[in-house]
Structure 1
Amino acid sequence: MLREYLANRQIHKNRLVTKDGHCNIAYGGVRQSQTFIYFLDFWTTLMDMRWRYVTFLLGASFVFVWFIFGLLWYWAAFANGDLTWQNPTAGHKPCVENVFDMKGAFLQSIETQMSIGYGYRVITPYCRSAITILTFQVVFGTVIICFWCGVIMTKVSRGKKRARTIRFSKMAVISSKKGSLSLQIRVANMRKSLMVGSQIYGKLLKTTITPEGETIIMDQIRIDFIVDAGKDNLFFVCPLTLYHVIDESSPFFQMTVDTLHQQEFELVVFLDGTDESTSSSCQVRTSYLPKEIMWGYEFLPIISRSKEGKYLIDFSNFTRVVPVDTAPCASQISKSPDDFPHCNTPTDGDRFQEMEVKGPSCATHF
C-alpha cells in the first residue's frame, strides 16, 4: 500500500498537467519577487484566491477603513475641542454631536460609510473638517463596496467552476476503429446545460532532439481528435468518445504494445466551450501518461434507449473497459475493414439503439 502511494505521488510530481487540470510548474530566476507579481496583478490574484481568504480580506478591508476614518473623526473632534477630557463649555458647538471619545468616532465612521442612518451621533454644519471627512468617506465607501461586489460576482460566475462538471475518463485506450488503430478517450458533461461551440484537441508533450543536435524540452505536438458526431462544434448533450486515428502522421504510429509504456511523454487533452446558461467560456484540461493508456481495450457502451423511448446514460460504465483483439502496432492494420474483421466495433450512433443497459461480466473498471 505504501509502495502504491509513493508510485502515485511520483507520477503526480512528473506531470505537467494534473488530472484535474492544474499546471504543475514552478518559476525561478524572476527579477521581481513573487509577492510583487501578485500585487502587480491584484485582480487575478483575488480570482485565484480561495474563498476563505477573500472573505477575510473583505472583512479586514472594511474594518481597516472604518478605523482610519475613525481616527480622522477623532482628530476633527479633538481640533474642535469636543472630547470629554477637553471639558467643552455649555454652549459649545461640536462637529459631531455625541462623539466624545475614540469609540464614538469609530461608530460614527461605520454609520457614515455604510449609510445606515444617523441616530445618536449627528454631524453638524459648524466644522469644515467634518464636512470634508464626510464627503471623502462617502465617496471612498461607495468605491470599496462596488469593488468587493464585483469580486464576489466575478468569482461566483467564472467558468472555472463550470469546468469541474466536465469529466474525463481516467484511462485512455487503444483499439481498432473503422479499420484503423485509434486512441480513445471518453468525456462527459455532468450537467444538462450544454457547452456551446465545444472544441476538443490535444498536445503531446515530450523531449525531442532536432537534427542539429538541439534538445527541445516539452516539445508540443498537436493531436487531433474526432467523434462520430463531427470534429468541431460538438453537440455535447451526452458523453462522447474521442478518437485519434493512429496513422503515418500520428506520433503514436511507431509505438507498439510492448514499447508504449517505455516511452516518456504526456498527452494533454483540452476542451474549450461556452456555457449556454451563463455565456462564460471555460477550458477543461486533463493529461495521460503512458501508464494510463491501455492497449487492446475499448470502452463499454453507456447510452441506451428505454422502451418508453427515453435515452438513458449509465455512468457506472463510464470508465469500464473490455479487452478486444487489437494489432500490436499501427503498421499491421489493413486499410480494408474486410481484411481485419475485429475492426467492426460499435460506433456512438449504434449505441442509441434500443437495448437494456447491461455490462459484460468481463469488463474492467478504472
Structure 2
Amino acid sequence: MLKHLRKWFVTRFLGHSRQRARLVSKDGRCNIEFGNVEVQSRLIFFVDIWTTVLDLKWRYKMTIFITAFLGSWFFFGLLWYAVAYLHKDLPEFHPSVNHTPCVEHINGLTSAFLFSLETQVTIGYGFRCVTEQCATAIFLLIVQSILGVIINSFMCGAILAKISRPKKRAKTITFSKNAVISKRGGKLCLLIRVANLRKSLLISSHIYGKLLKTTVTPEGETIILDQININFVVDAGNENLFFISPLTIYHVIDHSSPFFHMAAETLPQQDFELVVFLDGTVESTSATCQVRTSYVPEEVLWGYRFAPIVSKTKEGKYRVDFHNFSKTVEVETPHCAMCLYNEKDARARMKRGYDNPNFILSEVNEVDDTKM
C-alpha cells in the first residue's frame, strides 16, 4: 500500500515540477525551431511555393485563398476601369450616340469590378461584354482568362490536396499512453501497443524506433539528440504487418540493447526519449503516411504488461475493447536485464555441474592392505 502511495505522490507532485523537453510530442508533432536562418535560405520556401502552401495552417491557407481571388478581381477591375477611362467610355465624358465603347455598360469602378469578376469566373451574365472596337480590351480579356484559370487551378488544387493528405489518415492510428517492460517468451522486453481505428488496412506497414539521448564521444564531443536504432518486432516480424487488430510490438532487451544496463530503480533518472515510427501505405488512396509518438522515462513502466483487449463473442465475432487499450497490469519482472541473464547463466552452470554449492569434496585416507 505504501509503495503505491509513494509512486502516486512522486507522479502527482514531483512529476509536474520537472518537465522533460520532448523532440516529438505524443501526437507526432516535432518540437524544434530554426534560428538565424539566412534571408537567401528563406527565399527557398517561395521557390517551392506548392509545398509551402500545403504546409500552411488552415487559417493562413484560407486567407491566401480569399486574398488571391479578391485581389485578382480588384486588380483587373482597375485595369478595366483604366481602359474605359482612356477610351473615354465613362458617362462623365459624355460620349456621343455613335460612340462604341470597349466594354458595354461600364459606368464606374464598381461596374468595372463586376465585369472583372464575371470574366474571371466565367459567369457571363450577358449585360456587360467586350466589343470588337478595342484591341486593348480583347488582349486584357485573354490575359485575365488565362491567369484566372491558373489561380483557380492552383488554389483549388491546394485545398483538395490539403484535405486529402495522408497526414489525416495518421490520426486514426493510436499508440498506448505508456510503454511497459516485462518478460515475454523468457526474455525481458519493452512493449508498446498500437491500434488502427479504421477497418481499412495500412499496406506494407513497417515499424521501428529511435532512442534520442545526449552522448559524449571518446574525443570529448557532446552530441545532443544522438540517435540509436531500436528494433521493434511482433511475433510475425516487423515487415508487412497484418494491421487489422491492435498489435503489441516489443523490443528485446539483450546485450546489444541500450536498455540493457538500465534497471527499475535507475530508469526514472535516465535522460532519453524513445521515438516510435509506423510507416505504411493507405489502402484507399495508395498514399504513404507516417505515424509517430514518443516516450520519456516517466512513461516507461517497469514490471507491467498490457491488459487483454481482444475477445471472441458467442456469435463468433472478434471484439476489441479499447477501454483496456492503455491499461496495464503489474507482473513479476526482474529489476534489470543483467540480472535475468546472470540468473539464466547460473542455472545453465548448475545443470552442467559448474559451481555447484552442494558438491563437497571430502578427503579419504588410503590404507595399504597389502601388508601382512
In 1, the alpha carbon distance for the partners of 2:132 and 2:143 equals 16
> Which residue in 2 is equivalent to 1:73?
80
In 2, the alpha carbon distance for the partners of 1:249 and 1:156 equals 43
Q: TM-score, normalised by structure 2?
A: 0.86
How many residue pairs get matched? 337
Amino acid paired to 1:331: M
Amino acid paired to 1:16: L
Report how far residue 53 of structure 1 moved: 2.3
Q: Residue 15 in 1 paired to residue 22 in 2?
A: yes
In 2, the alpha carbon distance for the partners of 1:195 and 1:9 equals 40
> Which residue in 2 is equivalent to 1:364?
none
In 2, the alpha carbon distance for the partners of 1:137 and 1:211 equals 66
> Which residue in 1 is equivalent to 2:364?
none
Q: Residue 52 in 1 paired to residue 63 in 2?
A: no
Amino acid paired to 1:210: T
Amino acid paired to 2:19: I
8 Å contact from structure 1 (residues 179, 336) kept in 2? no
Matches within 5 A, 1:257-276: 257-276=264-283
Amino acid paired to 1:142: V
Q: TM-score, normalised by structure 1?
A: 0.87
> Which residue in 2 is equivalent to 1:325?
332
Q: Residue 279 in 1 paired to residue 292 in 2?
A: no
In 2, the alpha carbon distance for the partners of 1:41 and 1:297 equals 48
Q: Deviations over 1:14-38 (max 9, x none)?
A: 0011111111111122112886454
SS at 1:90 equivalent: coil
In 1, the alpha carbon distance for the partners of 2:47 and 2:18 equals 34
In 1, the alpha carbon distance for the partners of 2:145 and 2:73 equals 12
> Which residue in 2 is equivalent to 1:89?
96
Could you tell me which runs of 5 or more consecutive residues in structure 1 were left unpaired when the two chains were aligned: 341-366
CA 1:63–1:10: 2 relative to 1, 3 Å: farther
CA 1:105–1:41: 2 relative to 1, 3 Å: same
8 Å contact from structure 1 (residues 179, 333) kept in 2? no
In 2, the alpha carbon distance for the partners of 1:304 and 1:72 equals 71
* Equivalent position to 2:33, from 26, 30, 40: 26
In 2, the alpha carbon distance for the partners of 1:275 and 1:96 equals 52
In 2, the alpha carbon distance for the partners of 1:69 and 1:288 equals 55
8 Å contact from structure 1 (residues 302, 314) kept in 2? yes
Report how far residue 44 of structure 1 moved: 2.1
8 Å contact from structure 1 (residues 77, 83) kept in 2? yes
Q: Residue 64 in 1 paired to residue 71 in 2?
A: yes
In 2, the alpha carbon distance for the partners of 1:33 and 1:4 equals 48
In 2, the alpha carbon distance for the partners of 1:211 and 1:252 equals 21
After superposing the two structures, state which structure 1 stretch, 326-335 or 291-300, moved more: 326-335
Matches within 5 A, 1:302-317: 302-317=309-324
Amino acid paired to 2:228: I
Amino acid paired to 1:120: F
Could you tell me which runs of 5 or more consecutive residues in structure 2 were left unpaired when the two chains were aligned: 1-8, 349-372
Q: Deviations over 1:235-276 (max 9, x none)?
A: 001100010000000000000011111110100000000110
Report how far residue 74 of structure 1 moved: 0.7
